[in-house]
Structure 1
Amino acid sequence: MKDAKMNKIIKYLAYKFLSPVKYARFIGVKLGANPIINTKYFGSEPYLIEIGDNIRTSINVYFLNHDGAVHVLRNLHKEFEQADLFRKIIIGNNVYIGINVTILSGTKVGDNVIIGAGSLVRGELKSNSVYAGVPVKYICSIDEFKEKNSHLFINTLSTEQVKKEKIIREMFSL
């Protein structure tokens, strides 16, 4: 019992004081190179999550690698009284996951994928695509996304905040 309590305390301290990337690695999420992770919600079996290179998540992204709905079967069928249902989550390379996205067990996301804010993701998301919605659905290809939005892109990624604000205010006549 002492070991279980100590493990709980250690996990709590890690959650509180480690960066999201260090926390993910600490709890067993398999992370590729150059991750930018802004969430600490990796479900109860984080070791079932594999994330490729150059991933970026926004805040409040939830990875759920178990299916709690088996609870109903536990109560209906004796053979399932102790049953759980787990599946892996696999995220490819160069993926962006927007704010408040939930990724359900068994999901596989290809490479070069954008997942829009608030999406509920389940199943297989093909490479080089944009997806969004509840449930998630295909929106367009990455190339179509680029064509639709390229006139809106502003080269301010590495610009200091004060200068960036000035550029944006000028662009929007504020």
Structure 2
Amino acid sequence: MGSFKRLMTKIRINSMSKGAYIEYLRKQGATIGTGCDISKLADFGSEPYLISIGNNVRITKHVSFITHDGGLWTLRQMGKIDKEAVKYGRIRIGDNCNISWNATIMPCVTIGDNCVIAAGAVVTRDVPSGEIWGGVPAHKIETIEEYYNKIKDVTVPTCNMPKDKKQAWLRENKPELFD
């Protein structure tokens, strides 16, 4: 795709609602369940039709889905494999997952249900259901139950508050955050 066409596609995507963007990805061949929240800054690569996303999945900014092995370029240049050779792999994301900022999901990866992928993680192998993974390469950090038990007594009810109300609530109820 030429650079002008890429720019025009980015402009068109940027002007879409999140719902319209999900429909656009579906038209590109991605399988996406219901109740998903997908950032328009996520990168579905050149083969979105190899990506399946379950229900109630959140894909945040700058997540990249890599569905082919770019390392073959070196082998092609060395004459070790055919100049047209490519290796592809599906990516599957289960239900109720959160894929955090700048995570990269590599080919042939399945992420189970109820998983969290930490910001900046590079996922190179399957993630079992109910686990939190992070790092480069990504590895298990803890189970979702361990995470819940660790944070259940320290959460605050500000998720859907407007920015100014959230700041006021935090200043009043969590002043130590502003020290």
- What is the alpha-carbon root mean square deviation over aligned residues? 2.2
Specify the alignment match of 2:155 in structure 1.
153
In the alignment, residue 27 of structure 1 is paired with which amino acid?
A: Q
User: Structure 2 CA distance, aligned partners of 1:63 and 1:92?
Assistant: 15
Specify the alignment match of 2:141 in structure 1.
139
Specify the alignment match of 1:31 in structure 2.
32
* Fraction of identical pairs, as percent: 33
User: Structure 2 CA distance, aligned partners of 1:156 and 1:133?
Assistant: 28
TM score, norm. by length of structure 2:
0.85
Any idea what SS the aligned residue of 1:152 has? coil
TM score, norm. by length of structure 1:
0.87
- Cα-to-partner distance string for 1:75-97 (whole Å, 9 max, x where unaligned): 33465221011110000000001
User: Structure 2 CA distance, aligned partners of 1:107 and 1:171?
Assistant: 42
Q: Is the Cα contact below 8 Å between 2:42 and 2:59 reproduced in 1?
A: no
| Residue of structure 2 aligned with 1:41, choices 37, 43, 46 | 43
Q: Is the Cα contact below 8 Å between 2:33 and 2:53 reproduced in 1?
A: yes
Specify the alignment match of 2:171 in structure 1.
169
Q: Is the Cα contact below 8 Å between 2:104 and 2:122 reproduced in 1?
A: yes
User: Structure 2 CA distance, aligned partners of 1:161 and 1:17?
Assistant: 23
User: Structure 1 CA distance, aligned partners of 2:162 and 2:15?
Assistant: 27
Specify the alignment match of 2:15 in structure 1.
17
In the alignment, residue 37 of structure 1 is paired with which amino acid?
A: I
In the alignment, residue 16 of structure 2 is paired with which amino acid?
A: L
After superposition, the Cα gap between the structure-2 partners of 1:171 and 1:104, relative to the gap in structure 1 and judged at 3 Å, is same
| Residue of structure 2 aligned with 1:103, choices 83, 93, 105 | 105
Q: Is the Cα contact below 8 Å between 1:29 and 1:49 reproduced in 2?
A: yes
Alignment partner of 1:62 is 2:64: yes
For structure 2, the residue ranges without an aligned partner over 5 or more in a row are: none
Deviation at 1:14, TM superposition (A): 4.0
Q: Is the Cα contact below 8 Å between 1:67 and 1:105 reproduced in 2?
A: yes
Any idea what SS the aligned residue of 1:125 has? coil
For structure 1, the residue ranges without an aligned partner over 5 or more in a row are: none
